[in-house]
Structure 1
Amino acid sequence: MKLPRDVSGDDLARALEHFGYDVVRTTGSHMRLRTYRNGEHYVTIPRHPTLYVGTLASILRDVCDHLKINKEEIIRYL
């Protein structure tokens, strides 16, 4: 499935809330999210109006590897 091109950092953070991630802190232009599903895991998301496709793909890959799910499951919420 092709990644969407118009996803903001805030949109991605809201989508990850469906998978147990919560915003722990916001420093400058970045958000730090944490989950305890399948063990503790942190991910940092830039709060840009539009994320680069490579950045989005990297964050999704990291989250999917930790949660053992497909990217398509997260993309449905974007």
Structure 2
Amino acid sequence: MTRLPSLTARDVIKKLKRAGFVFDRQAKGSHEIWYNPTTKRRTTIPNHPGVDIPKGTLRAIIKEAGITVEEFLEL
């Protein structure tokens, strides 16, 4: 199992954009929904500026995006 680095929401969003995701809509509070038109997948990102996303949440985001941890880290 690959170790995940500490990433902020901004870092995760940059990687998701490289994977083809686009901003879909603002959810409740500070959460954003991102959508990939190619794969038809959605994922929710908790966008708290300057705060690292917890490892479990990051794994869930990667799983919802339909990519592996290794692919995500290479983006």
Could you tell me the TM-score, scaled by structure 1's length? 0.78
**1:5-62 C-alpha deviation (Å, 9 max, x unpaired):** 2x11121111000111011223421111011123x22111001221011100111122
Task: Say how many residue pairs are matched.
Answer: 71
Which contiguous aligned blocks of 4+ residues in structure 1 show a shift greater than 3 angstroms?
none
Q: Distance in 2 between matches of 1:55 and 1:70?
A: 14
Query: Partner of 1:30 in structure 2?
Result: 31
Q: Distance in 2 between matches of 1:56 and 1:44?
A: 10
* Ranges in structure 2 where 5+ consecutive residues have no aligned partner: none
Equivalent AA in structure 2 for residue 45 of structure 1: I
* Ranges in structure 1 where 5+ consecutive residues have no aligned partner: none
Query: Partner of 1:55 in structure 2?
Result: 57
Alpha-carbon RMSD across the aligned residues, in angstroms, is 1.5
Tell me, yes or no, if the aligned pair for 2:21 and 2:36 is still in contact at 8 Å.
Answer: yes
Q: CA offset at residue 63 of structure 1?
A: 1.3
Query: Partner of 1:45 in structure 2?
Result: 45
Identity fraction in percent: 28
Tell me, yes or no, if the aligned pair for 2:23 and 2:34 is still in contact at 8 Å.
Answer: yes
Query: Partner of 1:4 in structure 2?
Result: 5
Q: Distance in 2 between matches of 1:25 and 1:62?
A: 16
